[in-house]
Amino acid sequence: MTKKYKIMIGILVLFLCIAAGGFLYYKMAAPPGEKFLAYHNEELISNIDSQLSGLDMAGIVRNKEKYVIEQEIADIQDNIKDGSLTYEELTAICLYRIKTLDQNKHGFNSVLTINPHAMEEARQKDQERKSRTENTSEIFGIPVLLKDNINTSGIPTSAGAAALADFIPAEDADVAAGLKKRGAIILGKNNLSEFAGYMSSIAPAGYSNAKGQTINPFGPLKISASGSSSGSAVSVTANLAPVSIGTETDGSIVAPASAGSVVGFKPTRSTVSGTGILPLIRQIDTPGPITKSVQDAAVVYNAMSDQAITPAWDKEYLQGKTIGLTSYEYNDKSQVSILKEALQNAGAKVIDITLSQEGVFIFSNIQLTFKKDYEDFASVYGLPVKTLDNLIAFNNKEKETNAKYGQDYLEEAAKKEATDSDEINKSIKKAESVLNTAFRENDLDGIAFLNSTASTLPAAAGFPELTLPLGRDKDGVPQGATLTVPSGEDEALLKMGYSFQEYTKGRINPLETP
C-alpha cells in the first residue's frame, strides 16, 4: 500500500469519525419531536371502569351526549333542570370520553389523574339539586379538570414529576377550594409540561415524566398542544370536560388555548390566589380558566376567585372601541390581516402599534428564585422531596423514567444559592410602563395580538389576557386572537371577547366530522 493511499484511507476514516460524532451530537442536542408516550393509562382506565360499573354507557352516550358536547355551562344546567340530563350522566360521559379518546392507544393523554369519587359526588349533586329551593351556583355540579400543579386534597398532585407522583396534598389550593365551595366536581388533574415547562430545554411542550406526551387533536404529533397548560386546553377542545383550570407565567394559558381553538383567560393577577400552586415565579404566576366560550370563562372566574362580575353580554360591545394591534416580524402576515379584519368587522377601530418587549424577561428569570420557591413550597405542603438537589438526584437514579429529556433547567436553578427578586421586579415594572404608555398615548380600549406573541408584557405586568379562537391557518394549525386591557378591567375584557366571539365564531371542534 502506497504512502499516498494510506493517507487517503486515514483522511476517510477521520471524516467518518467526525461525521459519526456530529450525528451523535445532533441526536443528543437537537430538540426531539413528539412521540406517542403515555404512562399509567391502565390505572386511569381501571379507575374509570370501577366508577362506571353498572351503567349502560352505550345508552347514555347514544341518548345524552348531545346535551354535553360543545354545550356551554348555562346550556348544560338548563338540560339538567328540564330533566334531559343529570349530573351523574354528565360526569359519566366525561369519564367515558376520557377513557375512549384520551387514554386509549394513541389517545390525547391530556388527563393525568382521575378523582376516584367523581361519580359519587355527581350523584350527591343530583340529590342536593332536588332538595334545594334556592338558586345554586352556576358552576354547581359541573365537572372541572385542574392542571396538575394545583394542590387538590385527596388527589395526587405531581406537577408532572415522577418524584412527586404519589404526593397527595392535605389541603386544597385556594382555587380548588373555591370551586368545591360553589359545588363544582373536581373530575381529575391535567397533564402538563413538567414543572410548568421548567424541566428540560429539549422536551416537547406537553411532556411530563409522570404521564408522557400530551397530543393535540388537531394534528397528532404534527401540531404541538403548546404549553405549559397543554392538557387543560386539550381536554376542553376534545370535550372531555366542560371546563378546566390552567396556570400562566408567560403564555402558558393563552398559547395552549390558541393551539386548541378554545378560550383562555388569564385574569388580573391580583384578583386570583396562587396559594397552593407550585410556583415558577411566585410574583408572576396566575391561574385561569380554559373554556369553549367567553361566558363560561366568566362563570369559572367567579367561582375560582371570589369575584362577582355579571357582564351584560352585548354583541356590539366592540363598536367604536379603539384597539391597538401589535405584531412582530415572525408573525404570519396573512393571519395578522385576518385578525385585523375580524376586529374591524366587529366594529372596532384598529390602529397598528409597536410594543417593545426589550428589558422584560420572564423565562430567563425563573432560575433566580425557583430553588427557594420550590423548597419553601415543599416545606409548607410536605412534598416528599424537600430540596431541589434531592429532586435532581432522584431523577438521576432512573433517567429514562424520571428525566427522559434531561433536567438542565432544574440543574441551572440549583446553582443559584441566593434568591434575586430584583431582576424580576424590574421586568414587572418595565412591562407595566410599556403597556400603560401604549394605552395612554394611543387612547386605547384594548390591545390585540396573534396567539401568544406579545404575552410576555401582560404576563409580567399582571394585566388580564383573553385568547379567542380564530379558525385555522392554511396549514390547518388553529389560531388565536389575544386581547389585553389594564389591570382590574377584567369585566370589560370579557365583554370585548364576547363581542369578538359572536362576530367571528372561530371555535372549531377537532373531532367533528367536516
Query: Which residues are designated catalytic?
Result: 147, 228, 252
Q: Would you tell me how many other CB atoms lie within 10 Å of the CB of residue 429?
A: 14
Q: Which residues contact 200 (CB under 8 A, 6 or more apart)?
A: 194, 403, 405, 406, 407, 408, 409
Contact 357, 385 (CB under 8 A): no
Query: What is 153-189 written as a DSSP string?
Result: TTS---TT-GGGTT---SS--HHHHHHHHTT-EEEEE
Q: Which of 235, 143, 152, 155 has the alpha carbon at shortest distance from 183?
A: 143
Contact 321, 445 (CB under 8 A): yes
Contact 258, 454 (CB under 8 A): no
Please tell me the distance from the alpha carbon of residue 413 to that of residue 373, in angstroms, as a whole number.
Answer: 11
DSSP 3-state of 382: coil
Q: Which three cell numbers stand for residue 265?
A: 383567560
Contact 440, 385 (CB under 8 A): no
Q: Which three cell numbers stand for residue 130?
A: 332536588
Cell 347514544 maps to which residue?
62
The residues with which 467 forms a beta bridge, in sequence order, are: 264, 482
Contact 213, 204 (CB under 8 A): yes
Q: How far, CA to CA in Å, does 488 sit from each of 37, 268, 324, 463?
A: 41, 6, 19, 8
Q: How far, CA to CA in Å, does 74 sit from each of 70, 71, 298, 310?
A: 12, 8, 12, 14
Please tell me the distance from the alpha carbon of residue 409 to that of residue 230, in angstroms, as a whole number.
Answer: 19
* Total H helices, total E strands in the chain: 19, 13
Please tell me the distance from the alpha carbon of residue 148 to that of residue 111, in angstroms, as a whole number.
Answer: 9
Q: Cis omega before residue 110 (within 30°)? A: no
Contact 272, 417 (CB under 8 A): no
Query: What is the DSSP pairing of strand 349-352 with strand 263-266?
Result: unpaired
**DSSP label at residue 363:** G
Contact 128, 103 (CB under 8 A): no
Burial (0-12, 13-18, 19+ Cβ within 10 Å), 322: middle
DSSP 3-state of 368: helix
